[in-house]
Amino acid sequence: MKHASVRHARAGFTLLEMSITIFLLSVILGSAALVSQTGGKTASQAELETRVQTRARRTLDRVAEQLNGAAQAQFAPDPGTVGATSFSFRNVDAVSTGGVITWSNTYRFDLLPDTGDADDGVDNDGDGGVDEKRLVFTIDSGFASQKQVTLAHDVRELLNNELPNGLDDDGNGLADEPGFLVTRSGSVLTVRLTIEKFAADGRSAATTLQTAILLRN
């Protein structure tokens, strides 16, 4: 009697097939994780840059708002083409029909060491920035009603793309200009501002903005 030959289907995977499958899955999952991580870092960096840009724009707008109406002859010291980081000024409050000007009380801008970070070349407050500054606006300077307002922290020690080397690194005609600088050419006042912020993981974002203001005679 002839016996029927029965072929049994192979069950499961061989060790080689399992190894190949695990390897391919690892590659796929690793690639997906890398793409996700990269995308997350890109989004975080973009969010940091947006926050810095927004802060710099708001600060510059507030500076321009205070300087609108300022008179060229009422600056001390006169910023000139060299520029100034600290100065006082007065605005025109009113002009009578006879041409008599009523001046405001004195205002001041000062670029000072930021809170907890002395001007010593060291990151004293541990936030990633070295010798960062704060921009302070003083209302009624020298009067009993004097009030100081900090308009911005994290002002960079030097404008973006500038190095402390005595050279005009950014090609704007000024060397080693600070993170906040006001210059005057004729009746035009130019304000430059750089804000830099560091994230906890060491990433940073910096932006430099400038605006021009027409002074009164």
Site of tokens 């500076």: 63
How far from 206 is each of 13, 159, 184, 197, CA to CA, in Å?
56, 9, 25, 6
pTM reported for the whole predicted model = 0.76
Per the DSSP assignment, residues forming a β-bridge with 105 are: none
* Residue of 189, 182, 181, 183 lying closest to 215 (CA atoms): 189
> Average pLDDT, stretch 42-48?
86
Distance CA 33, CA 182 (A): 48
Residue 113 near residue 85, CB atoms below 8 Å = no
The one-letter amino acid at 38: T
Averaged pLDDT of the chain: 86
For 13-28, what is each residue's pLDDT tens digit? 677 777 777 777 877 7
| Enclosing H/E stretch for 24 | helix 15-67
Distance CA 9, CA 157 (A): 75
For 126-183, what is each residue's pLDDT tens digit? 888 888 999 999 999 999 999 999 999 999 999 888 888 888 888 888 888 999 999 9
CA 145 to chain centre: 31
Residue 147 near residue 156, CB atoms below 8 Å = no
